[in-house]
Structure formats: C-alpha cells, structure tokens
Amino acid sequence: MSAPLVLVHGFGTSGQIWRSVTPALPGAMTPDLPGFGAAAPQGRPGQTTGAMAAALADQLGPLRDITLVGHSMGGKVALLVAARWPHLVGRLILVAPSPPIPEPMSDEGRAALRAAHGEADALRRQYRQITRQPLSPQAMDQLILDGQRASRDAWHAWPDVGSRENISAETAGLRVPVTVLFSEDDPAIPPDVIQREVLARLPRAQALPIQGSGHLLPLELPDQVIAVLGGVNR
C-alpha cells in the first residue's frame, strides 16, 4: 500500500497549484497553509516558518510515514515538519524549494513581493517573470485569485520573516529519503542556489534537475512532476 501523499503549496498560492497533478495521484491531499487559500483567515502578522509547519503538522493529525511534497515556500515548511515531527514523514520531496537558510533576495525583490498582494496586474507580471512555459488562462486566474484572497499579514510575513529564517541547524540531520526536483531554468530560485544552499546542506538528497520550466513546475510541466511523485510513491 502506498504512503499518504501530501502536496504543500508555495508562497502566494494555495493547494490549487497542484490542480494539474492531482488527477493522476488519487488520494493526494493539498492542504492550505495559514494565510493562504481556504486558510487565509488564519494568517497572522510576522508568522514564521515554524508556525506554518506546526499548523501543517496539526492538519496531518494521526497520519504516519507520509510522502510530504513541498513547493517553494512549502518546501521550507516541509523540511521543518520532517525535522520536528519525524514520525509524520517517511519521504520528503522538495520542488523548487526555498532553502533552509535565508533565501537570497534583494531588498527590491522583497518590496516587489510585498507590493504585489491583491494587485492583479502586479501578480500577473510577477508570474510571467518567474515562468518559462505559458500558463493557461485558468491557471493564471487561479493564481491571481489566490493573491487577492491571501491574508495581507501572512503575505508580508514571508518576505519579511519566513524567507529570512535560518532553519539549517534543525534540518541538517534529516534521515528520511529526500528528493529535490528543480529546473535549471528557474529564475526565482536558480539552480546555483539549489546546489549551494539546498543540496549541499542535505548531503543524502537525490537531485533531479529538469529543463524548460520556470519556478511553477506543477503548472508548467505537470507530467514531469507526476512522473516523479508517482514513481517514488509506489
């Protein structure tokens, strides 16, 4: 019997980012982190990666040995869940993950992220800048909806707090199998950051580089994401 599969979204999005992946993965769970998606009312000022990890662990409840998949911000959250609640996680898959150290980002980049909250035109520009494959109108509409309904507190907390945190001391000793799926063409978290700040800090991790996608792999190249998730969860 395969392990439960839990797919965690990244910054500004929701469980809907997995919409092109889940039809091929029956039973997969796509929870929303505090402040985003259906959990928008749970967002709090200055919320930390640890607060999001605790909320996710609480949602997972009695599950054990899940395959936990985290995209971008959700990758950093998933790393911390695996470190603090090791009984929950049997396998960890990080998709274009934010690194466990402070994410390299300029002050201008952080300001642009903060300013995009709720602004359809700014959100559309942002997603066009970080993708390499065209998104369907439906996918773009969902991304903009997620950006408009997200908690302003939670939205600002990621560039100001969560993305700046260093959790590497906690995650360095992870013993669960870890796979890191990333694109060599990702402009948001480029491959050198993945190599230097993720893979080098997780020496047991398996690297799975692909090409042709930007940062939103589950929307841009869903078939390749499905192949990885379906393969490791058999």
State pLDDT tens for residues 116-155. 999 999 999 999 999 999 999 999 999 999 999 999 999 9
Q: What are residue 179's DSSP bridge partners?
A: 93, 206
**What integer pLDDT is reported at residue 203 of this predicted model?**
87
- Give CA–CA dist 173/46, Å, rounded: 27
Q: Give the helix/strand (H/E) hosting 49.
A: helix 49-60
**What integer pLDDT is reported at residue 176 of this predicted model?**
96
- If we measure between CA atoms, which residue out of 153, 107, 5 comes closest to residue 65? 5
Identity at 94, one-letter amino acid code: L
**What integer pLDDT is reported at residue 48 of this predicted model?**
98
What averages of pLDDT result for each successive group of 10 residues across the chain (234 residues)?
A: 86 97 96 98 97 97 94 98 96 98 93 94 96 97 97 97 97 94 98 97 95 98 95 62
* 8 A C-beta contact, residue 152 and residue 159: no
**What integer pLDDT is reported at residue 62 of this predicted model?**
87
**What integer pLDDT is reported at residue 174 of this predicted model?**
93
- If we measure between CA atoms, which residue out of 3, 36, 69, 57 comes closest to residue 153? 36
- If we measure between CA atoms, which residue out of 65, 211, 197, 221 comes closest to residue 134? 221
Q: What are residue 182's DSSP bridge partners?
A: 209
**What integer pLDDT is reported at residue 231 of this predicted model?**
73
